[in-house]
Amino acid sequence: MRARSIARPAACVLAAALAACGQIDTRGNAGVGSPAVDAGTPGGGASPGADAGTAGDAGPAADGGPAAPGGGNGGGGTGGAPPPAHAVKVTSTGPGAVLSSLSGIDCGGTCSASFAEGTVVTLSARPDAGARFSGWGGACSGGGPCDLRVDRDLEVTATFLRQVKLAVDISGGGHGKVSFDGRACESDCDATYDPGSNVTLSASVREGSIFMGWTGACSGLKECVVRLDEDAKVGAIFWPFPAYTVTAFGDLFTSLGGIDDAGNVVFVRSANLVGDLAFYRDATNGAESQMWPGNDAWTIRISPAGRIALTTFRVNAGDDAWDSWRLRPGTRWTWDHARTLGGVDGAYALSVDDGGLIIGGAHVSGRGTDRIFRAYTEDGARIVDLGSSDLSSSATAHGGGLIIGSVWGSAFGPRRAAVWSDGIHEIGSFGGTYSIAYGINRHGAIVGTAQTSDGGFHAFLRDAQSRALRDLGPGEMLSINDDGVAVGSTEGGYPMPRGNGTLYFNGIVWNLNDLVQEPDTRLEGAMFVNSRGQIIGGGLVHNRWGDYLLTPRN
């Protein structure tokens, strides 16, 4: 009996044929070599999830029913949605920038960048030169690198502070140290601080040295406190001690006339109490030579470069009279008569410059106590009357484009210090009537003495810029060099210095006796100082009255 055939649906017939050809398996999954696997989806791409399926094979059912969940070998692939991104915002203040380990953040001020969730980003602070990093805020803290795990939007702040520098300068030929904040500097050093910091500095010396004071932002000799709102410099000066060598010369009857920059000294000395002789002391060997043939020398002056002017004394009809002379350059000792303003009692020289031009005082008219004198200067081939703010005047010295001297109204009236510069300007006093200007340097700083309201005399320094008189204490200052070093005496007043010799250095008045170590020596009035700091004056040296030459050991 022939078996009865059973009709199948067309889809089943096709499925059977494909199975026989190996295109699908009996469960309906595409086989190797099938168009679905080899050709992929239309357009040549691989079909979604073609090689990465999970368990739960599905697809069209063998009987043509609906597809089961799961997606067979083509379900649940790796190409899902990317992780979310978050913003990291950095705001910095002050001189510096912030840099991220991953590209995106590198700025000063404010900037931001986005990073995928879960990313770890390291932020580093980069201060500018002369600044420091103060610390983080917001999502970061502390002062080191900041590691951020980006799991949400984050904000970070960074603070940078400008630093100020304190520079310490050590100078002088002595040895010492400056101590501050645990440091001890024996040579130049510096440190940085936040603005507004207060720094305390102190100075100490080794044996054989002396601290001569602070400069810059500090002054005086005591411990110094500096507030650093901006860069500052402090200097400390150390000198050897003793600060000077002492050389004796001259005698009790010597009147010093000056010292040039080479150390040559000129002076007038009594000739057995009958008249005075003029001498030149050679710096190279200390030899003394008589410069003027007669015994009528009155005053002598020498310029920094060694030009010399001499005044001789005579009597004219019962009145004092003078003649001025200029040493001819390159001669030993040939003199040329200097000019006058025409008065019969001549002229006297109180200063000479490196060109040989003389300034001083000259008689112009009158006799006896009614005589009138005028300050004068030489201008090439002529002599110039400088005039007076009163009846009479006399010029003492010049420097910095200025001429200094005195004005007065009568023979016995008070002398008043004056400056000639676009007219005549009186310097003033400390409440008294007298003032005398003795010395001036090329910067226009003036020293002298001025009377106080109680009748005493105090040394003064007149600053060229402020034109104010600085009271340097009792006495007088007689000479000042271009470095601002001045010398004088503690008990001055016109006409002769007395008391201890004084040194004005770095804003401090020193007793010269505290800067030397000589037995049986008392340094009295210091008269002149040259550009090398050498000083001449009078006093007791090695138990003998005379004159001294101090030479710095610095």
**Residues sharing a CB contact under 8 Å with residue 355, sequence separation 6 or more, in sequence order:** 307
pTM of the model: 0.77
**At 195, which CATH number?**
2.60.40.1140
Q: Are 58 and 35 in contact (CB under 8 A)?
A: no
Residues 174 and 234 in one domain: yes
Helical spans, DSSP H, in 152-208? none
In-domain check, residue 543: no
Tally: H helices and E strands in the chain? 2, 44
Q: Do 189 and 216 share a structural domain?
A: yes
* Domain termination residue (choose one: 240, 271, 304): 240
Contact by Cβ (8 Å): 333, 283 = no
Is 116 a domain residue?
A: yes
User: What pLDDT score was predicted for residue 49?
Assistant: 37
Residues 156, 207, single domain; the answer is no
Give me the pLDDT at residue 381, please. Answer: 79
Dihedral (C-alpha) 340, 411, 416, 322: value to the nearest 10 degrees?
Answer: 30
Same domain flag for 146 and 194: no
Domain count of the fold of the chain: 3
Residue 129: the pLDDT is 92
Domain match, 168 and 236 both: yes
**Res 496: pLDDT:** 53
Domain end point (choices 190, 213, 240): 240
What is the DSSP track for 41-81?
STTSPPPTTTT---SS--SS-TTS-PPPTT-GGGSS-S--P
Domain final position from 101, 131, 162 = 162
Answer whether residue 195 is part of any domain. Answer: yes
144 and 195, same domain (yes or no): no
Does residue 259 lie within any of the structural domains? no
The verdict on residue 177 lying in a domain is yes
pLDDT at position 83? 86
Q: % helix / strand / coil in the chain, to the nearest 5?
A: 5, 50, 45
364 membership: H or E segment, kind and range: strand 358-365
Domain-located, residue 481: no
Per-residue pLDDT of the chain (554 residues), as tens digits, is 333 333 444 433 333 333 344 444 444 444 444 433 343 343 333 333 333 333 344 344 434 444 444 444 444 445 578 889 999 999 999 999 999 999 999 999 999 999 999 999 999 999 999 999 999 999 999 999 999 999 999 999 999 999 999 999 999 999 999 999 999 999 999 999 999 999 999 999 999 999 999 999 999 999 999 999 999 999 999 999 999 999 999 887 889 999 999 999 999 998 776 679 999 999 999 999 999 999 999 999 999 999 999 999 999 999 999 999 999 999 999 999 999 999 999 999 999 999 999 999 999 999 999 999 999 999 877 999 999 999 999 999 999 999 999 999 998 899 999 999 989 999 999 999 999 999 999 999 999 999 999 999 999 999 988 899 999 999 999 999 999 999 999 986 444 556 899 999 999 999 999 999 999 999 999 999 999 999 999 999 999 999 999 999 98
Please list the residues that pair with 267 across neighbouring strands.
Answer: 256, 279
Residues 105 and 145 in one domain: yes
User: Which range of residues forms the domain containing residue 105?
Assistant: 87-162
Q: How many residues in total does the chain contain?
A: 554
Give the span between the Cα atoms of 435 and 271, in whole angstroms. 33
Instruction: List the one residue out of 508, 498, 443, 444 whose CA is nearest residue 476.
Output: 498
Domain assignment present for residue 351? The answer is: no
User: Does residue 185 sit within a domain?
Assistant: yes
- Helix (H, G, I), strand (E, B), or coil: what is residue 546? strand
In sequence order, what are the residues at sequence separation of 6 or more whose Cβ sits closer than 8 angstroms to the Cβ of residue 373?
Answer: 343, 361, 362, 363, 364, 392, 393, 394
Judged by DSSP in three states, 351 sits in strand
